[in-house]
């Protein structure tokens, strides 16, 4: 049962309606979904992930209308962003309505909303009969799953996974808070680039993303934005350039396009420096390296522009403290 084919979507919806959790594909990463209004089911999500209760979940809707019903106030700039990027990998943090429980939002007065750009996700939300709370379907602190098999590796065979194949985008949604009259703030870099956002808003916007800034180790800037996150078990170190490792050492190399000599496993994220391709490959490459029984992984950051900022953010977090 763990893997459900797209034709078994109704079965997945039935499980959700019965208060179970189901892993669902989205364009970014796989999510571990429960009906957001079913609190025992949401509690199962936290438990299965080993996720602390102070880290709020994103609520996934099938349409902008369904999403904004959950916001107490939708500022004009939130509309503008939603119209430009939904369905898609943008999460908007807005003042919540009372119907959204504190468990989902970790006691905050705001709720994170997103309309995924994935047919199966949209159909699942519609068939389940309500919005779905879903964090990435990895164990807390681990690498987000971009393939159905990754979910099984993370959570075991007990969680049914709706098989949507590999995720197209490969990095999580960009989280943007839009509160009242304030200008929007980026809380997590992601698949929608900062450049795309400021093009729509007509001015630069603040990025308050903890791996960008000095902070107290382990204290989240936005809830859930712990520095060490997306981390393989194998130590990952950022390097300026690859230098041939000592003989006998098992070292992995992760970069956009380099093939250095003497490394046991080499992961190149893209063929022609394409950052879209690199993002789609990033987490699967990190997993392969982690499974190769290496003493360490060396990684070189990609260009710090466009999607490269989100890729580098994940690499910095993976390297943090290792
Ligand atoms: O692409 C994605 O966003 C994926 C797919 C499954 O949709 N989901 C995902 O969820 O990455 P998760 O739980 O791994 O990350 C959600 C992020 C966390 O950093 C959390 O702290 C932040 O969103 N978040 C959620 N609600 C928030 C709120 N009310 N205020 C500020 N940040 C919030
Ligand atoms: Mg996550």
Is the distance from the beta carbon of residue 108 to the nearest atom of ligand 1 less than 6 Å?
yes
Domain with CATH 3.40.50.11030 in the chain: 236-319
User: Could you report the per-residue pLDDT of 145-202, keeping only the tens digit for each?
Assistant: 999 999 999 999 889 999 999 999 999 999 999 988 788 999 999 999 999 999 999 9
Q: Whole-model pTM above 0.75?
A: yes
Q: Which residues contact 91 (CB under 8 A, 6 or more apart)?
A: 58, 112, 113, 114, 173, 174, 175, 176, 188, 190
Query: Which CATH fold would you assign to the domain 3-207?
Result: DHBP synthase (3.90.870)
How far is it, in rounded angstroms, from Cα 205 to Cα 211? 17
The ligand with the least distance to the CA atom of 230 is 2
How far is it, in rounded angstroms, from Cα 304 to Cα 309? 5
Query: Which CATH fold would you assign to the domain 236-319?
Result: Rossmann fold (3.40.50)
The ligand with the least distance to the CA atom of 88 is 1
Which tokens sit at 247?
A: 């003989």
User: Could you report the per-residue pLDDT of 280-307, keeping only the tens digit for each?
Assistant: 999 999 999 999 999 999 999 999 999 9
Domain with CATH 3.90.870.10 in the chain: 3-207
The answer to whether residue 219 scores a pLDDT higher than 60 is no
pLDDT given for residue 216 in this prediction? 44
How far is it, in rounded angstroms, from Cα 175 to Cα 117? 15
Which tokens sit at 47?
A: 């438990």
**Which ligand 1 atom is nearest residue 55's CA?**
21
Q: Which residues pair with 255 in a beta bridge?
A: 268
Is the distance from the beta carbon of residue 29 to the nearest atom of ligand 1 less than 6 Å?
yes
How far is it, in rounded angstroms, from Cα 114 to Cα 64? 8
Is the distance from the beta carbon of residue 110 to the nearest atom of ligand 1 less than 6 Å?
yes
**Mean predicted confidence (pLDDT) in 112-124:** 98
**Separation of CA 249 and ligand 2 centre (Å):** 32
Mutate to test the pocket of ligand 1, among 67, 86, 112, 210 (most ligand atoms within 8 A of CB): 112
**CA-based radius of gyration for the chain:** 19
How far is it, in rounded angstroms, from Cα 116 to Cα 86? 7
pLDDT given for residue 231 in this prediction? 86
């Amino acid at each position: 049962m763990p893997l459900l084919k797209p034709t078994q979507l109704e079965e997945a919806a039935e499980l959700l309606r019965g208060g179970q959790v189901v892993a669902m594909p989205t364009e970014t990463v796989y999510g571990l979904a429960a009906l957001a209004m079913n609190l025992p089911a949401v509690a199962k999500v936290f438990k299965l992930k080993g996720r602390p209760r102070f880290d709020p979940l994103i609520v996934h809707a099938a349409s902008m209308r369904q999403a904004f019903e959950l916001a107490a106030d939708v500022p004009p700039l939130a509309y503008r962003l939603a119209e430009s990027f939904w369905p898609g990998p943008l999460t908007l943090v807005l003042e919540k309505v009372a119907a959204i429980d504190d468990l989902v939002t970790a006691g905050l007065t705001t709720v994170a909303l997103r309309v995924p750009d994935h047919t199966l996700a949209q159909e699942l939300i519609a068939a389940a009969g309500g919005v779905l709370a879903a964090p990435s379907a990895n164990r807390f602190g681990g690498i987000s799953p971009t393939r159905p098999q990754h979910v099984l590796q993370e959570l075991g065979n007990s969680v049914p996974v709706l098989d949507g194949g590999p995720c197209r985008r490969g990095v999580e949604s960009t989280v943007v808070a839009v509160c009242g009259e304030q200008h929007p703030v980026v809380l997590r870099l992601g698949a929608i680039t900062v450049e795309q956002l400021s093009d729509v808003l007509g001015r630069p916007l603040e990025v308050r993303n903890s791996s960008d800034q000095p902070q107290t180790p382990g204290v989240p800037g936005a809830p859930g934005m712990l520095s060490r996150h997306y981390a393989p078990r194998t130590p990952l170190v950022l390097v300026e350039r690859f230098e041939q490792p000592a003989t006998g050492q098992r070292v992995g190399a992760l970069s956009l396009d380099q093939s250095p000599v003497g490394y046991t496993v080499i992961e190149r994220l893209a063929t022609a420096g394409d950052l879209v391709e690199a993002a789609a490959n990033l987490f699967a490459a990190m997993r392969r390296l982690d499974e190769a029984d290496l003493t360490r992984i060396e990684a070189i950051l990609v260009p710090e522009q466009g999607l490269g900022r989100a890729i580098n953010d994940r690499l910095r977090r993976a390297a943090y403290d290792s």
